[in-house]
Structure 1
């Protein structure tokens, strides 16, 4: 199994790079997250996951071990293939994917292109306990079921703020102040947005 590549960057596209290692060029599928972290210099290092299928052998590359771990967790879920997992890691950072799953945030996961409600729920059911255990996180489902947060988020959307940005700010506020009122959450969010 190829676990990492270190070599000269020959070709760089948002979804694919070619890395030359000792005269051999490896085509590596990457996420937009990894693409944004690739240096402009010629020498690069990527952590990899080698996928062998009946019709293809594909090498996926990641900027960090954590991103590769999230990819491997995602592809372990029934109905989530490698391209879907890569899309998830392109739409959200690995940390956002982890936090969305831990918080049972179906809406965020479902906002990713190609992910429906059933798949989003399956990802959460299959991975939540593993993520909480692996990363020593406490159960953060309180944030996702907080009605004050939901009302504040709805109000911020009505005011014209983007849902993702408002949701991120509201989640942070509720984590700091779990008993905050709707008005307190909105006031704090307006200061940060």
Structure 2
């Protein structure tokens, strides 16, 4: 098991990063909250989980141990794979996931793309007691808003990677930008899109 990766961040995308460790580049899938807290081109450390399948070995990374713990809890549920776990953590913060489970808030979890009522109920049923025992805290880090086109194109790229049709994602993003009428970070824009789908 690879517990963490510590190295220079050489590439940063809303869905994955590449970290150089002594000349070896590790490609690591990440959530939006991890994306928003990583500074480009600097040394960083990600807590990692290595998912092994017959046809692929995939690394998942998190800036906080709390986020990794919630991810591991989520993927322990039947029907929740690593990509779904990342989708949940991209739509909701660690605290929001924890509160939704403890309060048995099926609707909040069900708002995440790809999560149906039965899966949301199963997550709550199986994790409620564990979540009550754990005290988790994450600090929300806001990325300074960059130029509109860059933010929109990065958000679009992330949504397409997460399974949205490109034309649907473009329409959704344009509607959000028109409706909100303010500068947003890539993370905020994608969260709005995931919640409005």
Same fold (TM over 0.5): yes
Partner of 2:75: 75
Are 2:95 and 1:98 aligned? no
| 1:180-191 paired onto structure 2 within 5 Å | none
Q: Distance in 1 between matches of 2:51 and 2:3?
A: 11
Q: Aligned pair 1:31/2:31, yes or no?
A: yes
Q: Which residue of 2 aligns with 1:4?
A: 4
Q: Distance in 2 between matches of 1:53 and 1:132?
A: 32
Cα distance in 2 between the residues matched to 1:12 and 1:35: 8
- How far residue 41 of structure 1 moved from its aligned partner, in angstroms, is 4.2
* 1:156 matched residue in structure 2: none
Q: Distance in 2 between matches of 1:130 and 1:46?
A: 24
Instruction: State the secondary structure of the residue aligned to 1:98.
Output: helix
Unaligned runs of 5+ in 2: 137-197
Aligned alpha-carbon RMSD (Å): 1.2
Of structures 1 and 2, the larger Rg is shown by 1
Q: What do the CA deviations read for 1:30-56 (whole angstroms, capped 9, x no partner)?
A: 001100011234211111011111111
Q: 2 CA distance for matches of 1:124 and 1:24?
A: 40
State the TM-score, normalizing by the size of structure 1: 0.69
Q: Which residue matches 2:44?
A: 44
Alignment of 1:56 onto 2:56: yes
Partner SS state of residue 80, structure 2: coil
TM-score by length of structure 2 reads 0.67
Looking at structure 2, the residues matched to 113 and 48 of structure 1 have their Cα atoms a distance apart, in angstroms, of 24
Query: Do the aligned partners of 2:102 and 2:124 also contact (CA within 8 Å) in 1?
Result: yes
Runs of 4+ in 1 over 6 A off after TM superposition: none
Aligned residues: 136
Q: Residue 59 of structure 2: SS of its match in structure 1?
A: strand
CA distance in 2, matches of 1:55, 1:78: 21
Structure 1 residue 69: deviation in Å? 0.1
Structure 1: tracts of 5 or more residues without a match = 137-193
